[in-house]
Amino acid sequence: MDTPATPRDDFPSPVRPVRIFILNDHEPVRRGLRDLLENEGFAIVGDSGSAAEASRLIPILNPDLAVLDDRLPDGTGIEVCRNLRATAPAIRCLILTSWDEQHAVRAAVLADASGYILKQVRDNSELVNGIRCAAAGSPLLPPGVRERVAESLYAASSASWLDILTETERDVLAFMARGLSNRQIGQELTLPDEEVVACVSSVLQKLGFRRRKQLIPAPIPLAWELLL
């Protein structure tokens, strides 16, 4: 009688590819990113050009990492990231941005994202390496930078020159700088979730992170640009 073969456990288990979701409102950019990342061994589980759709799809698809465009027709990658921090905190987020370094790091801090990648990177390897590091949980911001920028954002929330913000918006900005999620901010200020979301959007618009509507005045006084 044949004896069943003893299962061998010395073969390595296949490594699951890192699963990525792409949010960008330009379809050719999404297609280019998909081709680049798939060629590098990543698995693209979905993509979208809408902040609202991405906020709905990403928790369902449950990627390891969401690559989020900075500004979209209906919001920002910051807002999508903050929504995910409340609903699916295990999903890491990376802000893909055309802002300068100072504005980009502020965006990452306000979003509570793993970090940011500038769209003006010199070669694709820099983008791919950043995505790999973020997916692995490695911080992309140098030591101390997140804390220093968070402190400057918190200080700005009470600065007299930032009169473009309402009192409630100042409170929300202060809590965002301290790393509180939208849900936690609502608990602190006794506000419903939808009101916190609207207030966060208004703060981001007035500070120049969101696409401006014609009725909104020019954002951020010069002093904001001088913050570290």
Spatial CB neighbours of 33, under 8 Å, sequence gap ≥ 6: 22, 24, 67
Residue 214 has pLDDT above 50, yes or no: no
- Which CATH superfamily includes the segment(s) 19-135? Response regulator (3.40.50.2300)
Task: CATH 1.10.10 in the chain: give the residue spans.
Answer: 145-225
Least confident of 10-14, 91-95, 197-201: 10-14
Say yes or no: domain 145-225 is CATH 1.10.10: yes
Task: CATH 3.40.50.2300 in the chain: give the residue spans.
Answer: 19-135
pTM of the model: 0.85
Instruction: Supply the DSSP string of 82-150, one letter for each residue.
Output: HHHHHH-TTSEEEEEE-S-HHHHHHHHHHHT-SEEEETT-SSHHHHHHHHHHHHTT---SPTTHHHHHH
Residue 22 C-alpha from the chain's centroid: 11
Residue 41 has pLDDT above 80, yes or no: yes
Q: Give percent of the chain above pLDDT 90.
A: 60
Residue of higher predicted confidence among 66 and 164: 66
Residue 228 has pLDDT above 50, yes or no: no
